Structure formats: C-alpha cells, structure tokens
C-alpha cells in the first residue's frame, strides 16, 4: 500500500534535518528517510567535521590513538542518538530506515533496512543525500582493508605505522597532521605542484614547510601508477619527476574529493535533471527541474560544507514560510577553514583570482611572528594576507594561516558582507593580547 506524506526528506543531513524540525514546529507532517542507522544526523556529526576535529584535538593533547578513537565513537553515538530523537520524538515526524529511490516525480520506493520495501509519495520532496568519496581510476585502486576513505580511517583499530594519503587538499592535510600527531609516519601524494589547490601560493608554501618540519613527507608532482593490497601492506608505485618509485605502507587513505550522492537515486525515472558533474540541478532557490522537489546540501553541487547545507535550509524555509527572496545568489561571501596547526582559513578571492577578474588589488601581508599574541601562544608560524579593491577600499579576499585563523576569518567575512572599507578594520580598537589586533598592523 502506498503511503502519502505532505513532506518527504530523503537523507538525514544538515539541511534536511533542520527543515524537518522546522516543518514539525509548524505542525506539518514529515517523513525522513535515512539509509543507515549509523548516519542519523548526517555526515558532519558521524563521519565528517565533528569526529575528525575531535581526533585532531585529542592528537594535539597527546592521547593514544585507540583511546582517542573510543572517545570519538562515544561522542558520535551521543550526537547520533540526540539527532534521532530530535526528529523521531516529534509527533508529526516519521523516521524511516531505508534507502530511497525515485520511481516517479513524486514517488519513492524505499528498500527497508529491516527487509522488504515500501512505496511512498510526497507532495513536497527535499533531496538531502550528501556526497560520497571519489575514487580515481588508478590500476589496482579499490577500497579494502588497507585502502580506505576518511570514514574508515577514523575507526581503525590501531594507528597505522606508515600511512599514505592520496590528495593534498583540505581533508588530506587535516588527516596527515592528525595521524602524525598520533605517531604515524605520513606521506602525502599529490599530482599538483602546490598543496591546497588555489590557496595563496606563499601561504601554501608555508604550510608545506611546516608539514615537513613536523616530519610529514609531501610528494608533490607525483602520480600514482598502480596500487596493490596484500594481507599486511599496500604497495604503491608512483611517478615523480619522470622516475618511477615503489613504496610500502600499512594504510592508504584516499582523499581526492567527494561527489554528489545521486547514482542510486533513480533520477532517471523522473524529470529531475543532473548537472554535467552529477549533482542535482537546481536554480538559485534550490528548486529542481520538477515542481515541488528541492535539493539541499552537497547533493546539489554547491560548496561542500555543513554551514552551506544549513544555509540551503534557510533558502527553502524562506520559500515555504517567508517572502521567498533568499537565494544562493546572495551567497557571495563563504569563508572556510582547514583545521591544521596553526589553522588555515580564507574567504573571497586570492590575489590571482582578483587579477583574473580584471582588478589590480592592493595587497596587505603580515607575518604571524609580528603579533604579540602569537608570541604568547608560543606559535609564531604563519601569515595574514588580504586583498583590497583599490577603488572602493572594500576587502576582496583574505587568507589567514595563524593561530585562531578559523575564528578570525569570520571577521573578514562580516566586513566583506557589510561592504566595510579596510581602513575600518585597520583603525578599530581591539582587545589585547589577541590575534584580532593584528588587523591594526596588517592594513598599515
Ligand atoms: C572527513 C570530513 C571532514 C569534514 N569537515 C568539515 C568541516 O570541518 N566543516 C564543514 O563545514 N564541513 C566539513 N565536511 C563536509 C560536511 O560534512 C558536508 O558538507 C555536510 O555534512 C553535508 O551535509 P548534507 O546536508 O549535504 O548531507 P549529509 O550530512 O551528507 O547527509 C546525507 C544523508 O543522506 C543519506 N542518504 C544518502 N542516500 C540516501 C538514500 N538514497 N536514501 C536514504 N538516505 C540516503 C546518507 O546516509 C546521509 O546520512 C567534512 C566532510 C568530511 C568527509
């Protein structure tokens, strides 16, 4: 028998769960479908942001790896339970354990976790199925006991002695530092000639130097040629500067990005279109190509952050209950952080990106060693760099690699969003000693 619901949320992610909770507060009926009872609350709390940062912090505190992973498991279990009850205890919400696939524009078949299946229809459907790791095509590369993604890396029974990481992006480097802090010997392979994609090159160089000083081996310009897993190790053949080399590791972590989770959603049975990159195609109000079906979070191909999924919720909520004006086109200022030590954070354009936009920006730089608070914290590594529009003196972008960068970047984002001139940040009275007071000197 087909059951009909006013609202169906497919996937218990950030945007979807926040929307379900809000709909419940408006006495609306909601069905939330989640394929795994280990994923209530979504990626961030179970296998993403929170467990990874918890492991990073406990590594810095010197906890042994096994104790830290136990604490991580305890924390995620508590959060998962809290998230489940946040929705399941609402009288108008039903949480259904199963994997959903569309069989029509507003019809889903749910393969239930307990066996069997159920057909449901929804007046409004919200797709919030997140993203899944990308596995590059390299001979012999397939997930296994010793070839893993970030998810399995965080629940290894023991710390790997020799860890290889494929990908020198944000997740790759956070895990490199984290495992290094637990005593693993870490090698990062990346085919680019700099780490961290389009990060300001002088900052990326400082990061690379600090990683090397910490004993992390970074193999830039290196291509994996083949991978072979045996019972007790992973053999990696890679090419660097024209030479082919072989190295053995206990574990290979593949951190080469995540793609929207659409492959098994049955979208071919609907009018919902995909982009060329496999994301659900949405307009700037997150509407798909089928009326009354929206897509929120990583699955719609936007920036892959929890706070973007949350902002997607605000956009949808505004359409359903507000004036409908909020859209992704207002979203020009999106800061992001990589939780290294010291942390790295940025917002807006890099110098090169500003130049590509036809601007010749004013560039301000300050080394962290000039900041009294950095001295107090006994970590004087890193730098600040800000890019300013020479005409109106507004900030076009900033990159901070220094203590407290992940907090400070929000100050820059606020200044950008509020169209403040850089002189205001320069002449502000800041508390002392803080990293924020560095802005007095940065913009001198
Ligand atoms: C290791 C790691 C670290 C990260 N660190 C950060 C960070 O520090 N800060 C930050 O902002 N972001 C971080 N991210 C990214 C962040 O976790 C994601 O952008 C965010 O969680 C995406 O949320 P979402 O709403 O798109 O959906 P998700 O939270 O991914 O939820 C999707 C849910 O849908 C379920 N699902 C999928 N398909 C189906 C189906 N067919 N039927 C039923 N259910 C289904 C999944 O099981 C999952 O629970 C990190 C990610 C990773 C992997």
Place of tokens 């659900």: 280
Question: Is 264:101 a contact under the CB 8 Å cutoff?
Answer: yes
User: CB of 42 within 8 A of CB of 33?
Assistant: no
Per-residue pLDDT tens over the stretch 344-396: 999 999 999 999 999 899 999 999 999 999 999 999 999 999 999 999 999 99
Burial pattern 379-407, b for ≥16 Cβ within 10 A else e, equals ebbbbbbbbbbeeeeebbbbbbbbbbbbe
What's the CA gap between 2 and 409, in Å, rounded? 49
Mutate to test the pocket of ligand 1, among 18, 19, 32, 43 (most ligand atoms within 8 A of CB): 43
Residue owning the nearest CA to atom 51 of ligand 1: 48
Kindly give the number of the ligand 1 atom that is closest to the alpha carbon of 16: 25
Is residue 160 within 8 A of residue 251, CB to CB? The reply is yes
**Between these two residues, 197 and 142, which has the higher pLDDT value?**
142
Counting Cα atoms < 13 Å in the Cβ hemisphere of 407 gives 6
Distance 45 CA to ligand 1 centre (A): 8
**What's the pLDDT tens digit per position in 385-418?**
999 999 999 999 999 999 999 999 999 999 999 9
pLDDT at site 335: 97
Check if 49 has its Cβ closer than 6 Å to any atom of ligand 1: yes
Q: Ligand 1: which of 8, 34, 48, 84 to mutate, most ligand atoms within 8 Å of CB?
A: 48
Q: What is the pLDDT of residue 330?
A: 85
Q: Which atom of ligand 1 is nearest the CA belonging to 33?
A: 43
Helix (H, G, I), strand (E, B) or coil at 279: coil
Angle, CA of 10, 145 and 54, to the nearest 5°: 60
State pTM to two decimals: 0.96
Sequence-separated (6 or more) residues with CB below 8 Å from residue 74: none
pLDDT of residue 198: 85
- Residue among 14, 127, 306 to mutate when testing ligand 1 (max atoms within 8 A of CB): 306
In degrees rounded to 5, what are phi and psi of residue 439? -70, -25
Q: What is the rounded CA–CA span in Å between residue 66 and residue 339?
A: 21
Q: What is the CA radius of gyration of the chain?
A: 23
- Angle (CA) 257-192-260 rounded to 5° is 15
In short, whether 373's Cβ falls inside 6 Å of ligand 1 is no
Cβ of residue 430 lying under 6 Å from some atom of ligand 1? no
Residue 406 has, within 13 A of its CA and on its CB side, a CA count of 8
- C-alpha 207/C-alpha 220 separation (Å) is 13
* DSSP-based three-state secondary structure for 68: helix
Q: Which two tokens stand for residue 142?
A: 């397939």
DSSP-derived pairing of the beta strands 147-148 and 93-104: unpaired
Q: Which residues are catalytic?
A: 432
The CB of 306 under 6 Å from ligand 1? The reply is yes
Indicate whether residue 54 lines ligand 1 (CB < 6 A): no
Our CA angle for 185, 132, 67, nearest 5°, is 40
pLDDT single digits (tens) 263-307: 999 999 999 999 999 999 999 999 999 999 999 999 999 999 999
């Amino acid at each position: 028998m087909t059951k009909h619901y006013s609202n169906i949320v497919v996937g218990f992610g950030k945007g979807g769960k926040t929307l379900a909770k809000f709909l419940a507060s408006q006495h609306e009926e909601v069905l939330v479908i989640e394929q795994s009872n280990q994923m209530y609350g979504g990626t961030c709390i179970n296998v993403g942001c929170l467990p990874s940062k918890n492991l990073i912090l406990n590594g810095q505190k010197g906890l042994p790896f096994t104790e830290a992973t136990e604490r991580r498991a305890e924390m995620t279990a508590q959060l998962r339970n809290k998230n489940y009850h946040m929705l399941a205890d609402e009288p108008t919400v039903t949480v259904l354990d199963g994997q959903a696939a569309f069989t029509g524009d507003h019809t889903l078949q749910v393969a239930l976790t307990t066996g069997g299946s159920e057909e449901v229809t929804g007046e409004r459907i919200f797709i919030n199925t997140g993203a899944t790791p990308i596995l590059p095509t390299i001979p012999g590369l397939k997930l296994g006991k010793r070839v893993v993604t970030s998810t399995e890396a965080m629940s290894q029974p023991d710390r790997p002695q020799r860890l290889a990481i494929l990908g020198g992006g944000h997740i790759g480097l956070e895990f490199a530092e984290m495992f290094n802090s637990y005593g693993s010997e870490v090698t990062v392979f990346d085919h680019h000639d700099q780490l961290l994609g389009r990060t300001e090159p002088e900052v990326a160089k400082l990061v690379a130097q600090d990683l090397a000083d910490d004993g992390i081996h970074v193999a830039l310009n290196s291509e994996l040629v083949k991978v072979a897993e045996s019972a007790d190790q992973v053999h990696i053949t890679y090419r660097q500067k024209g030479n082919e080399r072989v190295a053995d590791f206990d574990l290979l972590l593949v951190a080469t990005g995540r793609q929207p989770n659409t492959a098994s959603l049955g979208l071919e049975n609907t009018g919902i279109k995909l982009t060329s990159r496999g994301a659900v195609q949405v307009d700037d109000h997150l509407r798909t190509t089928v009326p009354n079906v929206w897509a929120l979070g990583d699955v719609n191909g936007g920036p892959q952050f929890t706070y973007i999924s949350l902002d997607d919720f605000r956009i949808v909520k505004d359409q359903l209950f507000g004036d409908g004006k909020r859209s992704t086109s207002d979203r020009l200022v999106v800061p992001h952080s990589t939780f290294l030590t010291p942390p790295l954070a940025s917002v807006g354009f890099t110098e090169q990106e500003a130049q590509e936009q036809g601007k010749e920006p004013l560039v301000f730089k300050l080394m962290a060693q000039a900041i009294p608070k950095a001295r107090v914290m006994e970590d004087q590594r890193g730098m600040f760099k800000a890019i300013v529009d020479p005409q109106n003196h507004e900030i076009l972008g900033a990159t901070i690699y220094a203590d407290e960068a992940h907090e400070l970047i929000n100050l820059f984002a606020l200044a950008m969003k509020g169209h403040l001139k850089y002189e205001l940040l320069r002449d502000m009275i800041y508390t002392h000693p803080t990293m924020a007071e560095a802005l007095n000197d940065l913009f001198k």
